[in-house]
Structure 1
Amino acid sequence: MVNRADIGVIGGSGFYSLLDDAEEIQLSTPYGPPSDVVTVGRIGSRSVAFIPRHGRGHQFPPHRIPYRANLWALRSLGVRQVLAPNAVGSLRAEYGPGTIVIPDQIVDRTSGRVQTYYDAGGAVHVAFADPYCSSGREVAVAAARSGDWQTVDGGTLVVIEGPRFSTRAESQWYTANGWTIVGMTGHPEAVLARELALCYTSLALVTDLDAGVEAGEGVTHEGVMAFFAENVARMRTLVSATVEALPDKRTCECGSALDGLKLPFELP
């Protein structure tokens, strides 16, 4: 099953639907089923496949999301460019709730998550120095600024294991390291996309200042979800604008990420 969509969107917390008049597709993969049925439809002239990262009922906590199945399912439908909207906490007081960050780096602070397709059949080492698609980032930044978002071009997303939020000490440590935002789902999603030679761009909506940034009771799940719900319609508009502006033909380096490597299996 190929060429059903060329752009994939993986929706984060509170972002459970995107497409109108969409077809629902039940998919299986070598890594089990994806988080939910995949919906396929159109945004303008572009064919798009959408998966809610946590499932439509938010049944998957961040450390239990079937990341490998989600990315594999998208590629099997023909997807080659992926947008990943998600909710994050800010490690910088100047980037308050409502800021859109398009990160250019990622730090993995998770533990125990399977983060590769190539764990059998021979070693496959994929370059990951620049984890996000340069072309997708450029398009997303322009779309966010055109939509009057406070937009941060670049920055480091630190991904924690979850499902708990950070302690104040951890949060202050992340800030001291110069990192920008913190979330629970950007890894291994980004590296799995690279291992499938997919373009991957994160659209991170700041929903709160992290625990070490300001005094108070700290971050709560209810607060994050409430803020995202207030902004989800606007976020859908941003995603749609980015989808329509993505290039028809890839000229970035993402598509050649596996060139010269001996893969133990054939990709979909």
Structure 2
Amino acid sequence: MGQMELGFSGSLIGIIGGTGLDDLDILEGRTEKYVDTPYGKPSDALILGKIKNVDCVLLSRHGRHHTLMPSSVNYRANMWALKEEGCTHLLATTACGSLREEIQPGDIVIIDQFIDRTTKRHLTFYDGNHSCLPGVCHVSMAEPFCAKTREVLMDVAKKLGIKCHSKGTVITIEGPRFSSRAESLMFRSWGADVINMTTVPEVIFAKEAGICYASIAMATDYDCWKEHEEMVSVDKVLKTLKENANKATSLLLTTIPQIGSMDWAETMQNLKNSVQLSVILPKH
């Protein structure tokens, strides 16, 4: 990719499958492609195929057998591989805990903001160690997610009758442990609506790569702030995800052709401009 080319010629839609959606079988004419990147190997093979004639690339965030904990996911390699493949859009799925009474387990949230509580992760492609991307990137995160892509997701959810919250702030913690009750209550007081372990730094790399990124956050539980509620557990999370995976799947299957039929030239150009204006190149 060299200099991370940000050209645009039609939509190629990437799907990042999160917990419970690690091995989505929704692509027609699937082929697998194992790749390497300047940042190492992605989580798994890229699965190439089509959804209703729209070219798509599917990548399992934690590996198809869920072998990678959130801190061990190579987010940079994942994003580089998807960009190199030509992705213009990314629809990410993520399991999350609800920090709000009105966001019930089984609901979908199309998140629009994040709070970063991670501690161990690379947060930029431009780290001074890769000559393909010189300089320092101070990318704006005022609007981390693509508003136009989020709008499509919300319209489709409405048409399909899927209960969907049109915005929300996600707080991403390092994990792999769940929060203490004191932390959970603090995150609520900060204004966070849902909690997960993966949106950061994925959303940051998408922005640096000039990709339209949106996240389908699936609430699985009430974290541990809510009294008289069953404690969050892996069993409970996976059970709720299994029951609701069909919502995320139908949302993807209907949204993708919609995105493929739209004109994204202006959106892509704006993303490209914002990335270029964010990089301070070294002086020679």
Q: TM-score, normalised by structure 1?
A: 0.93
Residues 230 and 264 from structure 1, CA distance in 2 versus in 1: closer, same or farther, beyond 3 angstroms? farther
Number of paired residues?
265
**Aligned partner of 1:207: which letter?**
T
Find out whether 1:43 has 2:51 as its counterpart: yes
Work out whether residues 29 and 72 of structure 1, in 8 Å CA contact, stay in contact via their aligned partners in 2: yes
Aligned partner of 2:246 among 210, 215, 233 = 233
CA RMSD of aligned residues (A): 2.0
Aligned partner of 2:34 among 22, 26, 47 = 26
Aligned partner of 2:179 among 159, 166, 175 = 166
Q: Deviations for 1:181-203, whole angstroms, at most 9, x for unmatched residues?
A: 00011000000100111111011
Match of 2:147 in 1: 134
Aligned partner of 1:10 among 13, 16, 33 = 16
3-state DSSP class of the match of 2:255?
Answer: helix
Work out whether residues 140 and 278 of structure 2, in 8 Å CA contact, stay in contact via their aligned partners in 1: no
1:19 CA drift (Å): 1.8
Q: Distance in 1 between matches of 2:105 and 2:230?
A: 16
1:4 CA drift (Å): 11
Aligned partner of 1:82 among 66, 77, 90 = 90
Moved over 4 A (4+): 1-5, 261-265
1:216 CA drift (Å): 4.0
Structure 2: unaligned runs, 5 residues or longer: 129-133
Q: Which moved more, 1:253-262 or 1:225-234?
A: 253-262
1:75 CA drift (Å): 0.6
Match of 1:243 in 2: 256
Aligned partner of 1:105 among 102, 113, 120 = 113
Match of 2:68 in 1: 60
Residues 255 and 143 from structure 1, CA distance in 2 versus in 1: closer, same or farther, beyond 3 angstroms? farther
Match of 1:179 in 2: 192
Higher helix share: 2
3-state DSSP class of the match of 1:35?
Answer: coil
Work out whether residues 118 and 264 of structure 1, in 8 Å CA contact, stay in contact via their aligned partners in 2: no
Percent identity for Structure 1 against Structure 2: 38
Q: Distance in 1 between matches of 2:174 and 2:265?
A: 32
Find out whether 1:207 has 2:220 as its counterpart: yes
**Aligned partner of 2:14: which letter?**
G
Q: Deviations for 1:11-55, whole angstroms, at most 9, x for unmatched residues?
A: 000112232431111111111111111101111121000001110
1:65 CA drift (Å): 0.5
Work out whether residues 104 and 131 of structure 1, in 8 Å CA contact, stay in contact via their aligned partners in 2: yes
Q: Distance in 1 between matches of 2:156 and 2:50?
A: 18
Q: Deviations for 1:177-229, whole angstroms, at most 9, x for unmatched residues?
A: 12110001100000010011111101111111111023345211121111111
Structure 1: unaligned runs, 5 residues or longer: none
**Aligned partner of 2:73: which letter?**
I
